[in-house]
């Protein structure tokens, strides 16, 4: 049985897939199997994958007849085929340093309590040129956080850094234990963007997190927004996914009711920002009222008041009961 199962989910990355697969098969650590997945690509991806499928380390090539609509459905499919102790989701447009597995595998093997090991990532463009580190989530963190190795308790890390976003931004830089992967992955498959966040939090509820500051992953960030509306759509999808987490955290015992409420308020503000960006409104109109209050927040407060009124007028509310008592007294 191989120690590592490498899952390569692909969709229309024919121009990058060869470089990605070469970086996998050229690893200095060779005790692995490769599972190739294609989600009904419309480019030449499948032709390239078929060529690499001849490699004896490839367990299988699985091509969907119809697009699944979810990268996280591909994760679940690949893990179902995997037999290795550790899983590496090697996204098809990224690249790995030759010693990626050689460094990360011992980090997990050193302690069975460790469930996730991840490394620092470079950002690369379409030409594979590096443009600095992808240290996502540095706001509110010590600026030196990503410059030094660390091992932390999983539940404590969730409470400190995983409540509002996932500090692990790219799955290609992660190695995790297969047995720690959540048995119920259905919620993630329904998400647009945050299914990986669900996976990491699920694992960290029972496992520790280990990080190494060596940049062994190359995250290809060549996303281009056709219009501001396309970018806002992306933000809306992210925020809509986020609304799942406060209640889940609460039921899992990770936060209390007050913290759950604060998370909902935070995500509601983000939702307002995504739907009503500031440039839609004229400051000249709002400045006579209160120059320090963004107009989209005024609309947010109005919406909140309307929701409160609706709850009081709903069947079974105190207000409705009061109205009934008044009617009976007449």
Where residue 286 falls among pLDDT bands split at 50, 70, 90? very low
Distances 301 to 232, 288, 307 between C-alpha atoms, Å: 21, 18, 10
Tell me the pTM.
Answer: 0.83
Q: What is the pLDDT of residues 298-310, one digit of tens each?
A: 566 666 666 666 6
Query: Same domain, yes or no, for 179 and 76?
Result: yes
Query: Same domain, yes or no, for 318 and 172?
Result: no
Query: Same domain, yes or no, for 19 and 54?
Result: yes
Last residue of a domain, one of 172, 202, 220: 220
Q: Residue 146 pLDDT more than 70? A: yes
pLDDT, residue 306, reads 65
Last residue of a domain, one of 188, 220, 252: 220
Where residue 83 falls among pLDDT bands split at 50, 70, 90? very high
Query: Same domain, yes or no, for 309 and 211?
Result: no
Q: What is the pLDDT of residues 91-126, one digit of tens each?
A: 999 999 999 999 999 999 999 999 999 999 999 988
Query: Same domain, yes or no, for 113 and 233?
Result: no
Query: Same domain, yes or no, for 176 and 304?
Result: no
Query: Same domain, yes or no, for 172 and 318?
Result: no
Q: What is the pLDDT of residues 188-242, one digit of tens each?
A: 999 989 999 999 999 999 999 999 999 999 999 866 566 777 777 888 889 899 9
Which is it for strands 58-63 and 4-10: parallel, antiparallel or unpaired?
A: unpaired
| Mean pLDDT of the 245-249 span | 95
CA distance 244 to 263: 11
CA distance 60 to 83: 12
More confident residue, 263 or 327: 263
Reference 270, options 204, 193, 189; nearest CA is 193
Q: How many domains does the chain have?
A: 2
Phi, psi of 43 (to 5 degrees): -100, -155
Token pair 């091509």 is at which residue?
63
Angle at CA 211, nearest 5°, toward 77 and 266? 75
- Percent of the chain at pLDDT > 90 equals 62
Query: Same domain, yes or no, for 232 and 214?
Result: no
Where residue 173 falls among pLDDT bands split at 50, 70, 90? very high
309: containing domain: 228-329
Identify the CATH number of the domain in which residue 213 sits.
3.90.550.10
Query: Same domain, yes or no, for 262 and 209?
Result: no
> Which residues, in sequence order, are CB contacts of 324 under 8 Å at separation 6+?
none
The overall longest dimension of the chain from CA atoms, in Å, is 86
Mean pLDDT of the chain: 86
Query: Same domain, yes or no, for 160 and 232?
Result: no
Beta carbons of 180 and 205 less than 8 angstroms apart: no
Q: Residue 285 pLDDT more than 90? A: no
Last residue of a domain, one of 186, 203, 220: 220
Query: Same domain, yes or no, for 35 and 179?
Result: yes
pLDDT, residue 298, reads 58
Query: Same domain, yes or no, for 183 and 245?
Result: no
CA distance 298 to 321: 31
């Amino acid at each position: 049985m191989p120690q590592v199962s490498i899952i390569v989910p692909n969709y229309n990355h024919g121009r990058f897939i060869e470089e990605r697969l070469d970086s996998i098969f050229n690893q200095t650590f060779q005790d692995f199997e490769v599972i190739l997945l294609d989600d009904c690509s419309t480019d030449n991806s499948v032709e390239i994958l078929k060529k690499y499928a001849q490699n004896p380390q490839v367990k299988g090539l699985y091509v969907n007849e119809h697009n699944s609509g979810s990268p996280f459905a591909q994760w679940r499919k690949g893990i179902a085929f995997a037999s290795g102790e550790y899983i590496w989701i090697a996204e098809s447009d990224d690249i790995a340093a030759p010693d990626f597995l050689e460094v990360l595998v011992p980090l997990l093997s050193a302690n069975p309590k460790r469930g996730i090991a991840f490394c620092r990532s470079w950002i690369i463009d379409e030409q594979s040129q590096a443009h600095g580190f992808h240290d996502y989530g540095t706001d509110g963190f010590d600026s030196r956080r990503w410059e030094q190795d660390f091992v932390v308790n999983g539940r404590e890390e969730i409470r400190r850094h995983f409540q509002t976003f996932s500090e692990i931004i790219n799955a290609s830089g992660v190695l995790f234990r297969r047995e720690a992967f959540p048995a119920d992955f259905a919620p993630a498959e329904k998400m647009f963007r945050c299914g990986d966040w669900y996976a990491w939090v699920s694992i960290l509820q029972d496992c520790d997190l280990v990080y190494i500051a060596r940049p062994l992953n190359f995250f290809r960030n060549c996303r281009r927004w056709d219009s501001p509306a396309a970018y806002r759509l992306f933000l809306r999808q992210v925020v809509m996914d986020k609304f799942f987490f406060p209640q889940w955290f609460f039921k899992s015992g990770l936060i209390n009711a007050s913290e759950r409420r604060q998370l909902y308020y935070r995500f509601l503000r983000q939702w307002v920002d995504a739907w009503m960006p500031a440039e839609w409104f004229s400051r000249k109109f709002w400045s006579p009222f209160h120059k320090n209050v963004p107009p989209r927040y005024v609309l947010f407060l109005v919406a909140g008041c309307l929701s409160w009124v609706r709850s009081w007028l709903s069947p079974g509310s105190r207000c409705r009961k009061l109205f009934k008592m008044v009617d009976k007294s007449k």
